[in-house]
Amino acid sequence: MMYAIPGRHAILALFLIFLLLPIYWLVNMSFKTNVEITSTMTLWPERPTFDNYRVIFTDASWYSGYINSLKYVVINTILSISVALPAAYAFSRYRFMGDKHLFFWLLSNRMAPAAVFALPFFNLYSAIGLFDTPWAVALAHCLFNIPLAVWILEGFISSVPREIDETAFLDGYSFPRFFVKILMPLIASGIGVAAFFCFMFSWVELLLARTLTSVNAKPIAATMTRTVSAAGMDWGVLAAAGTLTILPGAIVIWYVRNYIARGFALGRV
């Protein structure tokens, strides 16, 4: 087979082990007691315990962090995709005044460091009364997710032949009906890929999420800094909280895995 490179199984296996090893260590630690963590080096919990997880699921200040994070991630994903779809269609099909500049300007926001925007966002959202709500974080994350969604969707829409639009309009479809009934099913995997990326970048971002919230909408990532207490680090709970933040991502990947392989190949990303 022309495709094979020498030693490919070994290379892939080594790389996957390299990826899994730190995660294994975190999960391993989350089932240990703090005494076992600090006193001995065990590759497997000697006395597996769920106490660390029990702390998280019974303490509202812990589990509400997860709910807060999921809230703004979902709002952001829905918002980004629904405004990016028509825009991507416009960029893909039409030439209009300033289109190229607008496109580059949009993408340039993807390049803006979050650190630059932290302070102005804080002022802005405090001024309009959205500070410490999921909406503030969701809107702030639109800054980099909308450009990305437009970029991905534009590639997918461009791969749909224009004859399909024209036929639909000749058949008497109105624009919104054509968009929902014909175009969106055709680019379903593209919408899946774009949603995946929006979910991913909103879920993993911390700097803005932490700056724009204080108590009510505090994301789980910020809650995790609490484990440093006067009695020292609570490593077990920290590891359990970390393990739980990996789960939503793992679930999303599992559901979109076939989409991703197909979607990656079809579109531009």
CB-CB contact of 192 with 109 (8 Å): no
- Residue 254 binds another protein (CB under 8 A): yes
Applying CB under 8 A, among 162, 169, 181, 216 the residue interacting with another protein is 162
Give residues with Cβ within 8 angstroms of 247, minimum separation 6. Answer: none
Site for another protein in 125-144 (CB under 8 A): 139-140, 142-143
Site for another protein in 172-191 (CB under 8 A): none
**Size of residue set near another protein by CB under 8 A:** 95
* Minimum distance of another protein from residue 11's CB (angstroms): 4
Identity of the residue numbered 121: F
CB-CB contact of 154 with 99 (8 Å): no
* Minimum distance of another protein from residue 134's CB (angstroms): 15
Site for another protein in 16-35 (CB under 8 A): 16, 18-23, 25-26, 29
Q: Which residue has the tokens 């009364």?
A: 129
CB-CB contact of 202 with 73 (8 Å): yes
- Residue 123 binds another protein (CB under 8 A): yes
- Residue 37 binds another protein (CB under 8 A): yes
Give residues with Cβ within 8 angstroms of 70, minimum separation 6. Answer: 248
- Residue 9 binds another protein (CB under 8 A): yes
Site for another protein in 57-86 (CB under 8 A): 79, 83-84, 86
Nearest to another protein of 36, 54 (CB atom): 36
- Residue 2 binds another protein (CB under 8 A): yes
- Residue 268 binds another protein (CB under 8 A): yes
Distances (CA, A) of 200 to 44, 73, 127, 154: 31, 9, 29, 19
How many C-beta neighbours within 10 Å does residue 143 have?
Answer: 15
How many C-beta neighbours within 10 Å does residue 156 have?
Answer: 25
Nearest to another protein of 98, 185 (CB atom): 98
- Residue 118 binds another protein (CB under 8 A): yes
How many C-beta neighbours within 10 Å does residue 124 have?
Answer: 16
